[in-house]
Structure 1
Amino acid sequence: MSKSPTRYSGGCLCGRLRYEAEGDPLLSGHCYCSDCRKASGSGFIPFMGFASTAMRFSGEARQFRSTSFRGSDAVRNFCPACGGLVFGGEVGKDVSHTIYAGSLDDPSLFHPTIAIFARNRPDWAVMPLGLTVFDTLPA
């Protein structure tokens, strides 16, 4: 018998903005960039990346755009009702999306393997042992 693909689901605080993802994440880790720190109000954002074809979204999202490390738009989607930060990327445009692991219905499904923008990590943000660490982005 083959194992069925893992399904991830989650959403915002009030439940109006939801997602489902199927299969293994392309990436899973912690981002310590200054934008993620400010968006989360913490020392990092735990994230998982999925191909857009593996994702389904429901509900209304508002977007905040900023300039990414590579110079393109970084798009963060949040719920207009509760303000909960849920996912990154522009639906219908981007080939992949990030989901913020704090929005998972089952947080035990998050297993970080990398740390990105580690050069920006505050001293007080403890990095788990065993992560592959990148000063900025993986090549």
Structure 2
Amino acid sequence: MGAPYSGSCNCGAVTATIDAEPAWVRQCWCRQCQKAASGSATTNALFPSDAIKLTGEVRWNGYIAESGNTIEQGFCSNCGTQIFGRNSARLGALVVRLGFIDPPHDLRPSSTIWLDEAPDWAKDGGTVELFPRQPPPPPAS
């Protein structure tokens, strides 16, 4: 289940085909990624920019990260789905949010970075309840 990969945003306005294997797949717990992911880590795959064929409008916002690099986040201008990250230290490459890549694929993180900024619950190795779909409603009070 390798390349090519396809991807789409929630509304389908942005689609992509990726004709390469990623250099890496990893989770990032830096505070900026936690903000982008509403409190979780982002899960990302790094691909060469020239391997990505994109349709639709991607909107970009940038900031200076703690590393000193300029980071830009790319998202669908229609539905807001997070799609890409660009880093001034990785010219010629785009970070693709794993959720943008359509299944089936076998991409999975091989590392987790910025754990110093992760909440304790993300580092404790504990277990959480798992549900295959929507959990049952809470008991009536």
| TM-score, structure 2 normalization | 0.77
- Conservation of the 8 A alpha-carbon contact between 1:48 and 1:98: yes
When residues 70 and 52 of structure 1 are mapped into structure 2, their CA distance, relative to the original with a 3 A threshold, is same
Using the aligned pairs only, state the percent identity: 28
Q: Which has the larger radius of gyration?
A: 2
Q: Between Structure 1 and Structure 2, how many residues are aligned?
A: 123
Match of 1:133 in 2: none
Gaps of 5+ in 2: 126-141
- Conservation of the 8 A alpha-carbon contact between 1:30 and 1:115: yes
Query: Offset at 1:27?
Result: 1.1
The match for 2:9 among 12, 16, 19 is: 12
Match of 1:33 in 2: 30
Matched, 1:64 2:88: no
The match for 1:87 among 84, 89, 100 is: 84
Cα-to-partner distance string for 1:45-91 (whole Å, 9 max, x where unaligned): 0100011122121110111101123323201101111111111128x
Match of 2:52 in 1: 55
- Conservation of the 8 A alpha-carbon contact between 2:2 and 2:106: no
Matched, 1:21 2:39: no
Gaps of 5+ in 1: 129-139
| TM-score, structure 1 normalization | 0.78
